[in-house]
Amino acid sequence: MRGDDRDPEDDHRPRGVRGVSAVDSRLAGYDAVVYDLDGTLVELAVDWDAVAESVLDVYAERALIPPTEELWGLLGAADDYGIRAAVEEAIALHERAGARESTRLPLGDRLAADGPEGEVGSPPSAGVCSLNCEEACRIAVETHGLGDAIAGDAIVGRDTVGSHKPDPASLLAAIDRLGAAPEDSLFVGDSRRDAVAAERGGVDFAWAADLLAE
């Protein structure tokens, strides 16, 4: 189970979302680029089945019957049961540890090799929009030396703005924090949820695998 947001339909790309190739020339055409985290820039060292079990324990400790065994469904239902904070912390505990032990992926390598954000000749301003908690995102960025390439105030996790992908609000928040407009920005991700968020937000989308193929 992918920690960020992959599901069995991740390889089915929504109509209207265009793939992007020719990395350098494409990126140069945007004012801002926002990246998904887990599965795109890094791979979190998280056993997501174990995370789901931890969340089920939160329900069980309160004698609550969980509506599903699927992790993100359990998180989505947590408000209705009045246990959102406890569920968030149960997930975040695994994510923070997994971020510290994460592996940087090839796209993260490429981003780290680019010039610091804002330098003349450097790629467009970059941010992160992730289904992982913001603290885990920040730990991963720091762990892998991505802080020069990614704007610190444009790291948006699921708990940053009160909604998460595929709702586009978190993506649009990251873009706004980069001082860009949605139509002048690109979102790079690895899941259908990422693609849908971009489509709903009016933001161009690139599959991480397509960029790596260049």
Active-site positions read 36
d(CA 12, CA 192): 7
Q: What does the block give as tokens for 127? A: 């941010």
Look up residue 73 and give its amino acid.
Answer: G
